[in-house]
Amino acid sequence: MAGAFDTQALRNAFGAFATGVTVVTTREENGTPRGFTANSFTSVSLNPPLLLVCIAKSAASLKIFENAPHFAVNILSEDQKAISGLFASRQPDKFEHAAWKPGPDAVPLIDASLAWFSCTREQCVDAGDHVILIGHVTDFDTRAGNPLGYFRGNYFSLGLDQPLVEAVARDTKSVIGAILARGTEILLDIDPQTAALTVPNAQFGEKGEGLDTLIAALAACGMRAEIDFLYSVYRNRASGANGIYYHGIVSGDAPAGRAFFDINNMPWERVTDAAQRSMLQRYSGEYAHGSFGIYEGDEDTGRVRKIGNQG
Ligand X SMILES: Cc1cc2nc3c(=O)[nH]c(=O)nc-3n(C[C@H](O)[C@H](O)[C@H](O)COP(=O)(O)O)c2cc1C
Residue nearer to ligand X on the CB measure, 78 or 296: 78
Angle at 49 between CA 102 and CA 106, to 5 degrees: 10
For the chain, give the secondary structure using H, E and C: CCCCCCHHHHHHHHCCCCEECEEEEEECCCCCEEEEEECCCEEEECCCCEEEEEEECCCCCHHHHHHCCEEEEEECECCCHHHHHHHCCCCCCHHHHCCEEECHHHCEEECCCCEEEEEEEEEEEEECCEEEEEEEEEEEEECCCCEEEEECCEEEEHHHHHHHHHHHHHCCCEEEEEEEEECCEEEEEECCCCCCEECCEEECCCCCCHHHHHHHHHHHCCCEEEEEEEEEEEECCCCCCEEEEEEEEEECCCCCCEEEEECCCCCHHHCCCHHHHHHHHHHHHHHHHCEEEEEEEECCCEEEEEEEECC
CB of 102 to ligand X, least distance (A): 19
CB of 61 to ligand X, least distance (A): 3
CB of 250 to ligand X, least distance (A): 25
CB of 167 to ligand X, least distance (A): 29
Residue nearer to ligand X on the CB measure, 152 or 277: 152
CB of 127 to ligand X, least distance (A): 11
Residue pair 113/77 in contact (Cβ under 8 Å)? The answer is yes
Chain contacts with ligand X (rule: CB under 6 A): 21, 36-40, 54-56, 59-61, 84, 87-90, 150
The 10 Å Cβ neighbour count of residue 83 is 26
Residue type (1 letter), 256: A
Residue nearer to ligand X on the CB measure, 64 or 241: 64
Residue nearer to ligand X on the CB measure, 34 or 136: 34
CB of 114 to ligand X, least distance (A): 15
Residue nearer to ligand X on the CB measure, 159 or 302: 159
**End-to-end Cα separation, the chain, in angstroms:** 31
Residue nearer to ligand X on the CB measure, 122 or 189: 122
The 10 Å Cβ neighbour count of residue 56 is 15
Residue nearer to ligand X on the CB measure, 25 or 118: 25
CB of 74 to ligand X, least distance (A): 13
Residue nearer to ligand X on the CB measure, 26 or 278: 26
CB of 241 to ligand X, least distance (A): 36
Chain CA centroid to CA 77, Å? 13
Residue pair 183/260 in contact (Cβ under 8 Å)? The answer is no
Residue nearer to ligand X on the CB measure, 21 or 137: 21
CB of 298 to ligand X, least distance (A): 33
